[in-house]
Structure 1
Amino acid sequence: MQRKNIGLLSGLFLLLLVSGCKKEKEEKPEVDTLSISYKVKTTWPHDVNAFTQGLVIHEGKLYESTGQKQSWIGIVDINTGTSDKKVVLDDKFFGEGITILNNKIYQLTWTSKVGFVYDLKTFKQINEFPLPTKEGWGITHDGTHLIMSDGTDKLTFVDTVSLKTVKTINVTEENSPAKKLNELEYVDGYVYANQWETNRILKIDPKTGKVIGRLDLTSLAQNASLRNPRADVLNGIAYHPTTKLFLVTGKYWPSVYVLQLTQ
């Protein structure tokens, strides 16, 4: 009888030990190896009526483009958030992303299948071109080519002279298509992309199409919604190469958040 009790206690102890180890393993948090951490350095006011589609820093000035009726391109006063509107589109056009290259502003439209080119100094329209994609969403450049998104998992590279497609790459995140790519920013050889309807910015290697990093900006989106219930999705990335700071905002957000990436 005593031997049975000893055997029973030993078995029970072993069971508890194994169960405890298993529980410890189950509770151990998974590490996201692609996660990019950041610090909010400061915030600037943002126009809560701006349906933000593009954000660009050029020669110390912050440019913004918007969608909806009377879509516009303007230079933002970072102290007030107000924009000096330089271009206002006809209501038949829904403005999308912008980028600046070679003293020109390139602007996409959503479903009109047309893009516009403006002289940077005068903001006079100097050209228009048919979009090589089904829709226009985000645009940036690598110094040689324009890079466009269309809400899918594709990035399209376009020649700046002929405005013809040079190549298209498919973006993957952990071997699955990274869809809903939206506003873009090219930084030090990588493309950063807002992923529409999420609070994430993806860091993409344009050589492979692979997502090699991601920022989760849920806390910023929540902060924006608390301060303006009308706040919509995260959309807008700009980079300042001298300070190496990122600016992010969203549609109808009350703030532009100035971020320092720490990884």
Structure 2
Amino acid sequence: MRHPFRLLAAVALLAYSTFASADQVVPLDVGGKQVKVSVPNGYIRTSLTVRPLYDITAAALPESNRLVEYFIAESDYRDMLAGKADKLRRPGFQVQVMRSIENAEISAADWQAGRVEIAKTMGLLDTNELIKADSAKANERLSEVAGSQMEVNYGEIGKPQVYGNDPGSLRFTLRVPMSVQTADGVQQAVISCVGAVTVLNGRLVFLYAYGDEKQLPELRVALDRFVDGSRALL
């Protein structure tokens, strides 16, 4: 019975070693305040370097959410330029905010009270209904940004699964089956999304790590480091 535990430990250590290089501190503007996040060296800001990818990603989000930044590994970017890869091999990181409260100052007391409510809400959240309500507008935004017809459809996503709830953050996982239809055909994928809600410099932010569903153990390690490193900068 010990073997599965040794295997999980080995996977976690392998994932950690992938991100064991020094991190870089990136300042971002959230609601008129500077929020600093910590991401691995060797990652680039798509808003500055791969603007089309940033714009398409931003357009695909629900209208209520703003993409502050999307980070991808330089090695994946080089593969994309060379046409050698149709998906990212290393996790991508995102920072998002809710537009309606982006400018709100969140105190420590506000956050602790809010964290309890957010945890309750996640257990009731119907992600499919939320996405369905915005899907037509999202596809219009995507097509406009891409300059040609694009349509994204989602399979059964289900509810976020909370795996960490501490005074500093609320962490969860989400499985996202999706298909993307363009003039070139249809591509299907199942994306693992590992996220956290936290407060950085008085602003409520969502930090995410994205990757293939087979990368889930690695993604959790990566997200934990992303969150813990960013909170250590406070």
Q: Same fold (TM over 0.5)?
A: no
TM-score (norm 1): 0.29
TM-score (norm 2): 0.31
Larger strand share, 1 or 2: 1
